[in-house]
Amino acid sequence: MLATILAAAFLGSVGISLLSRHLARLDEARDFAIPSHIAIGDEP
């Protein structure tokens, strides 16, 4: 039973890691596609 709990915790952490990495890639792609923010230092 303890092994099952540990395996579930490990798989859950791996899943969260992969999901966060995927979301970070989507965020980077969105940033490259649409320049929706003004870079610091470009103020008039």
Report which secondary-structure segment, H or E, holds 5: helix 2-33
Per-residue pLDDT tens digits for 8-38: 999 999 889 888 888 888 777 666 655 555 5
Q: How far is CA 1 from CA 5, 7, 11, 14, 42, in A?
A: 6, 10, 15, 20, 58
Confidence of residue 44 (pLDDT cuts 50, 70, 90): low
Stated pTM of the model: 0.50
Confidence check: pLDDT of 43 > 70: no
